[in-house]
Amino acid sequence: MSDNSLPDEIISEILSPALKVPDELFSDNSDVSPFATNSESTSAYLLVCKSWLRVATPLLYNVVILRSKAQAKALSLALSQNPDLGRFIKKLRVEGGYGPPMRIILQCAPNITDLFLSFVIYSSDSTSGLCKGLPLINPTRLILRDLFHRPLENKMISQLTEALIQSLPKWDRLVRSTLFNPAQYLLMSSLCSNRKRLHTLTIPEATGLSWVYSTLKGCPLRAIHIKQPLKQWDRIDKTDPVLMALVKYTEAPARGTVGVPEPTSELPPIPPSLNPFFIPMAEAPKEVQDKIWTRILYFAMLGSLQRVTLSANDLTSETFLKAHGPKLTEIVVPYTKLKVKIFELCPNLHSVTLSHMRMGDIPVVDDLDPPQTFPPLVKIILSQNYWTRHALICYAIHVSTEIFSCSSNKDWIAEWDDFFVKFEPERLPNLREIEFNSCVWPTTERDISKSCWVRWAEILLKRGINLTDKTGTRWRPRLKVK
């Protein structure tokens, strides 16, 4: 298909669903960002061909989400080299401070209508660029995010708050705002009382409704949205018809009505036989009996068996595997059963799971250098003890562990660091994945910089191996500041 086979308008209609950021996600100011995912960047669409690059660029820049210093620096560099790109930016979500590049971004984006600012900023971050850039824009909607119960307090946040106080009176187009905690109510009341243009306000819950309404009565309010469903103990002054006309909310379902299972019909019990001496097929011809019993025994021999789970107390595992091992493609076995020669008895396994692993059991790297390969294996699901003895050629390794965090034991972390640094599986050429079911990927720039999971994942990526969590989600390297 030639590059000009479709008009730009059609290409735009095709790409819009993939590049569009829903407003409910953009404006989400809950604790965990909806953009804290490991999905592929939508900027990859721009690399398909020149026509897609031309059409998708305005769509991509229409809504900009910044979650790290490296992203802010890259965007500021792109806007500095091509100022026309900044005119495409209509919505800007900034989930941190991100330093001096933010001034360049705000300076090059005069058409911003929706601005999202986060006050979850640590002292190691910098808000200097934001503070200098806020007076350069004039948005119509402001969305603020903070920690609800224990907001952070530091110099960077104080500077950003002061810059916002200085800038808001100049934002004569601001008519909508979303707040997150009571401290922001006071900020908005002092800033909006002069302009009196605010007509739509969103607050997290009903507890601050009375105070907000009484403070902003002078504004031409059209709607006050309450994000959290109203509980039974929440109170709204329903005697005020003006307030009731403004408030938009949903009510939480009554206790006991959520998750009620549907009634299920039970099969009637099978009555006992009237003849306790009944013998099946006693009067049938021998040929018929042989044919039926042969069929029954065929199923008893587990001819279609592919998956099996062995228990720790099973004393006949080896005997069972000798009989059925060649048929198995998946097996779950506790590490105490490692004495069973799984790979010799089950030559067609694609997946092996070994559970009951503790993070304190660190594999020995030399034990992962087997004398021969096992091409049939596609996936090995294992715990630490299993890993030390039987990690052979495979496509994926799954480490089933107890709940574990990167801060739980520094000695364990140091030992795992040493393991991953030394782990170069020369005789595991097909190894592509190591899975930890206790792995939890960090969601913020600060947590990413401290996460042992990220550190280990990036070590393994250099060797072509993905570290994944229990859902199979692998780590995707982030853009870094050089």
Which of the following CATH numbers is that of domain 8-198: 3.80.10, 3.40.50, 2.60.120, 3.10.290?
3.80.10
Domains 8-198 and 303-468 agree in fold: yes
Domain assignments of the chain as residue spans, ordered by start: 8-198, 303-468
Q: E-assigned strands of 229-329?
A: 247-248, 307-309
Give the pLDDT score at 354. Answer: 66
pLDDT in tens, 416-459: 888 888 888 776 678 788 888 778 888 888 888 888 889 999 99
Amino acid at 177: S
Q: Which CATH class is domain 303-468?
A: alpha beta
Q: Which residue has the higher pLDDT, 456 or 261?
A: 456
Structure confidence at residue 103 as a pLDDT band (50, 70, 90): very high
The answer to whether the beta carbons of residues 346 and 328 sit under 8 Å apart is yes
For residue 232, count other CB atoms closer than 10 A to its CB. 8
pLDDT in tens, 27-75: 888 888 888 877 777 888 888 888 888 888 898 999 999 999 999 999 9
Angle between helices 155-167 and 182-195 (to 10 degrees): 20
- 401 alpha carbon, distance to own chain's centre: 20
Average pLDDT for residues 404-416, to the nearest whole number?
Answer: 71
Q: Is the pLDDT assigned to residue 389 strictly greater than 80?
A: no
pTM: 0.74
For residue 350, count other CB atoms closer than 10 A to its CB. 18
- Residue 22 to residue 39: CA distance in whole angstroms: 16
Give the pLDDT score at 264. Answer: 62
Structure confidence at residue 372 as a pLDDT band (50, 70, 90): low
* Largest Cα–Cα separation, the chain: 100
For residue 283, count other CB atoms closer than 10 A to its CB. 7
Distances (CA, A) of 288 to 281, 298, 299, 423: 9, 15, 17, 61
Q: Is the pLDDT assigned to residue 81 strictly greater than 90?
A: yes
C-alpha triplet 222, 26, 193: angle, nearest 5°: 35
3-state secondary structure of 32: coil
* H or E segment and range at residue 66: strand 63-66
